Amino acid sequence: MPMLEVVTRTFRRPTMLAANKASVADQVGGSVKHTILVDQFGAGVPAANAGLATFEPVGDYVWILDDDDVCIYPHLAVDLARIADTHRNPPAVIVRMDHGSLGVLPHDGIWGVAVHEAGIGTSGIITRRDVWMQHRQAWASARYASDYDFIAAVWAACGPQIVWHDVVASRVQRISHGQPEAVTL
């Protein structure tokens, strides 16, 4: 069983997906499984979010890293194993994400204190598998921001036990809002 399962949802973004896959493959050490969930029909972000309400991970920890994002911290899996050992398998780990024009989130003003909608992105939380299973129904709201619904549910249940790991683990390649890459002929 892998320590970290990276889950990537994708819709017609072959160039960005290739960069995403390469960034996960660049993890140094640690046990990592990369799961790709393909949207064949362009159902959109709310539907892709709702689909996570039934996703059953196999890794000890689950990290959503969508196809328009890349991992920029190659030691994440190693750090996660150390954090799990040191903190006795915390329910979740919060990391930062470079959101391009939106800046790095969570920003310094809330870092280590709280999470709020628009203050943390999908790849800002790494969740232990059993905690994922307990709270995955929060994705079913099918809102564009149901990533925050999930994060808020985990925060409400586990806040004081969550570990804040101050690394920028990912960055957006493009804020896509569910749109595929442009096709050039």
Instruction: Give the integer Cα–Cα distance in Å for 9 and 49.
Output: 9
| The pLDDT of residue 185 | 40
Please check the confidence at residue 178 and state whether its pLDDT lies above 90. Answer: no
- Measured distance CA(61)–CA(126) in Å, rounded: 6
pLDDT tens by residue, 40-79: 777 777 788 888 999 999 999 999 999 999 999 999 999 9
Calculate the alpha carbon distances from 41 to 18, 27, 96, 151, 180 in Å.
20, 31, 31, 27, 11
Q: Check the CA dihedral 133-63-21-39 and report its sign.
A: positive
- Alpha-carbon span 30 to 75, nearest angstrom: 8
Give pLDDT tens digits for 72-118. 999 999 999 999 999 999 999 999 999 998 899 999 999 999 898 88
Categorize the per-residue pLDDT at 146 as very low, low, confident or very high, splitting at 50, 70 and 90.
confident
CA distances (Å), 176 to each of 54, 84, 114, 160, in order? 24, 33, 26, 33
For residue 24, give the 3-state DSSP assignment. Answer: helix
pTM for this entry:
0.93
Please give the radius of gyration of the chain, using alpha carbons only, rounded to the nearest integer. 15
Least trusted range by pLDDT, from 51-55, 156-160, 181-185: 181-185
Q: Between vectors from CA 90 to CA 157 and to CA 76, what angle results, nearest 5°?
A: 125
Cβ atoms of residues 68 and 175 within 8 Å: yes
DSSP readout, 26-93?
A: T--SS-EEEEEEE-SS---HHHHHHHGGG----SSEEEE--TTEEE--TTHHHHHHHHHHHTTS-SEE
> Can you give the pLDDT at residue 111?
96
Instruction: Supply the pLDDT for residue 4.
Output: 97
What tokens appear for 148 in the block?
A: 């925050």
